[in-house]
Amino acid sequence: MMTDFLLIVALVVVGAFFWQLRQMAEISRLFAQRECNKQKVQLLAIAMESARPSIGGSSGLTWKAKYLLEFSTDGMNQYKAEIWMHGNTVQKVKWPIFPEPEWLDAPESRGSVGGSCGSRGSCNTGKCK
């Protein structure tokens, strides 16, 4: 009787920890997709690298997990970033140094700082010598 109760409690605890890890995986995937869109890079894969039980978070017992994020800037090269989570919150993101995705997507300079003509229109009007 008592062993059945302990077995059921153990299964519920294992199920709850598994459910929390699945929630963390989904939150990290959504976070990675949003961050890749901001950086204008292509998300290739995200995977959990490590996880360990921890105390804290909203439920008391939770997980500290590290996720590996793989992305590409041009479809040929692959880069890796790391995401650290504690419970359902992202603690830290470590991006590597990578080249800008597309030169055509870079902002154009406007004004007279850094050039002799100012803007493209003034060079065509003959104002520059």
More confident residue, 114 or 7: 7
**pLDDT digit string, tens, across residues 107-123:** 454 555 555 555 555 55
- Segments making up each domain of the chain, as ranges: 2-102
Task: Give residue 14's pLDDT band: very low, low, confident or very high (50, 70, 90).
Answer: confident
Question: What pTM, to 2 d.p., does this model score?
Answer: 0.68
Residue-level pLDDT at 57: 60
Mean of all residue pLDDT scores within the chain: 81
Name 89's bridge partners. 86
